[in-house]
Amino acid sequence: MMNSSFDLKNIFSSLSTALDFTYSGLSSHHKRVALMSLKLARRMGLPQDRIKNLFISAIIHDIGAVSMREKEILGELEILDPYAHSEMGYQMVKNVKFLEPVSCFVRSHHDAWRGDNPSGLRGDRIPLESRIINAVDRLDVLINRRQNILEQPQKILRRLKSIAGTIIDPDIMVELADLAGAEGFWLDLEYGSLSDLLCAQTEDFEISIENNMLLDVSLLFSGVIDKKSIFTHRHSRLVAASAFKIAGISGFSVEDSQKMLVAGLLHDLGKLGVPEKILEKPDRLSPEEFRLIKRHTYYTHRILDKIKGFEEINRWASFHHERMDGAGYPFRLKAESIPIPSRLMAVADVFSALAENRPYRRGLPGNKLMGILDEMTGSALDPQAVKVLKDNYSSFEELLENEDPLSQPLA
């Protein structure tokens, strides 16, 4: 992969923000759960290697809950069926080679202490990491964000103790209650910069990117993005494969082409903040709905902006709706201010969107697709980038024919 050095803790902490979009905005749930998990693990004396794995599993524990409706249900203390998203998350995480060891923690993070779990586990047979996440996850959903947090500890701990021995580990409950006796524990949970607090909790260990780990993480999150709608089940992978191919034909270096691949996979990260009913609306969007859609590139930009070393990847990903004439969004950049890789990404995105089925139309055949590209050339799209795609259109058609468009670029 790339020679650049990235901090995996920073990447997971930043990308987890995209998992926290709800109907009411950003919840920061994953960061709070990760922070409490780390504090509890240190109090319990877990060794460093287990703390690392606990951090990774806690910061993405609800990765299988894609829709806003699913996330809303998870806000209840006792969930009727908490296992569907846990199993989905397990399936997604275990397919990433270096994350396979933590996938079981994701799978069991709602396993009840009393048993009767799909995993067949009960009591201390449930992984300790899962039991820690379960306890602090339940604490977090009990916090009332509209009330002074220091007015709530007694009530919250009382409710948690009522499910100790049935839902959560009673011994962990004792440790958590002691930890939560300090006002600072609670004030940290509403602190404006949770990322800084997480950084302080993890500064004594490193999780460095090696080989294809960055690509693997990008593929994982692109899977979350594309599961948001049945009409985008492979959109991020198709955009990434198309952008990678345009970059290679255009003479990009191997490293920059690989950066385009990552940028393509993450370009729609902010769409996790868009309600599904808008993404799947079969009719033309209202002006208000389109303004909601336009927020997604801004969210992508702000999330990726928190990752050190991602400066180029961020611009290439989040500027894909900027236009040559300056009428794009969200920053209204004009041609001279739009990096060439961002222009290529815009063409890859338009090509992919036109070729795919959408709720309001079927995917377009090549002649109609290229006609629309011609209409957009100069005003919206970069002429040279469009020319590369049109001159090599048969190879892009091959991408469309594959259920996994990345099977070619990664072969």
368 and 227 housed in the same domain: yes
Q: Is residue 207 part of a domain?
A: no
- The residues with which 26 forms a beta bridge, in sequence order, are 21
- Domain-ending residue, one of 202, 228, 243: 202
> Among 150-159, 200-209, 314-323, whose mean pLDDT is lowest?
200-209
Mean pLDDT across 373-402: 95
For 120, other C-beta atoms within 10 Å of its C-beta total: 9
The band of 390, judged by pLDDT with boundaries at 50, 70 and 90, is: very high
121 and 59 housed in the same domain: yes
Mean pLDDT across 174-183: 98
Q: Residue 169: is its pLDDT beyond 90?
A: yes
Q: Is residue 208 part of a domain?
A: no
Q: Residue 2: is its pLDDT beyond 70?
A: no
Q: Residue 325: is its pLDDT beyond 90?
A: yes
19 and 100 housed in the same domain: yes
Task: Round the CA-based radius of gyration of the chain to a whole number and report it.
Answer: 22
Mean pLDDT of the chain: 93
The domain that holds 249 is classified in CATH as 1.10.3210.10
Q: Is residue 119 part of a domain?
A: yes
| Measured CA angle at 382 (ends 321, 267), to 5 deg | 30
Please report how the helices 340-355 and 366-376 are oriented relative to each other, as an axis angle in degrees rounded to 10. Answer: 140
Mind listing the pLDDT tens digit for each residue in 36-69? 999 999 999 999 999 999 999 999 999 999 888 8
For 290, other C-beta atoms within 10 Å of its C-beta total: 12
The band of 411, judged by pLDDT with boundaries at 50, 70 and 90, is: low
Q: Are the beta carbons of 126 and 141 closer than 8 angstroms?
A: no
CB under 8 Å to 407, separation ≥6 — which residues? none
263 and 331 housed in the same domain: yes
- Domain-ending residue, one of 172, 202, 232: 202
Query: What gap in Å lies between CA 56 and CA 10, rounded to an integer?
Result: 11
**Tokens 């990433």 appear where?**
96
- Domain-ending residue, one of 153, 175, 202: 202
In the chain, pLDDT over 70 holds for what percent of residues? 98
117 and 196 housed in the same domain: yes
pLDDT at 4: 58
pLDDT at 73: 83
pLDDT at 212: 84
Which residue in 56, 123, 111, 104 sits closest to 83, CA to CA? 111
Query: What gap in Å lies between CA 114 and CA 344, rounded to an integer?
Result: 54
Q: Is residue 3 part of a domain?
A: no
pLDDT at 282: 86
The residue segments making up the domain with residue 252 are 213-407
In the chain, pLDDT over 90 holds for what percent of residues? 80
> Among 116-125, 129-138, 195-204, 256-265, whose mean pLDDT is lowest?
195-204
Please report how the helices 128-142 and 100-107 are oriented relative to each other, as an axis angle in degrees rounded to 10. Answer: 50
Q: Is residue 378 part of a domain?
A: yes
Q: Is residue 1 part of a domain?
A: no
Has this prediction a pTM greater than 0.85? Answer: yes
Q: Residue 209: is its pLDDT beyond 80?
A: no
Q: Is residue 366 part of a domain?
A: yes
273 and 395 housed in the same domain: yes
158 and 261 housed in the same domain: no
Mind listing the pLDDT tens digit for each residue in 338-362? 999 999 999 999 999 999 988 778 8
71 and 194 housed in the same domain: yes
188 and 336 housed in the same domain: no
pLDDT at 11: 94
CB under 8 Å to 17, separation ≥6 — which residues? 26, 28, 30, 31, 303, 306
> Among 4-8, 239-243, 274-278, 299-303, whose mean pLDDT is lowest?
4-8
Q: Is residue 307 part of a domain?
A: yes
15 and 130 housed in the same domain: yes
The count of domains in the chain is 2
156 and 240 housed in the same domain: no
157 and 217 housed in the same domain: no
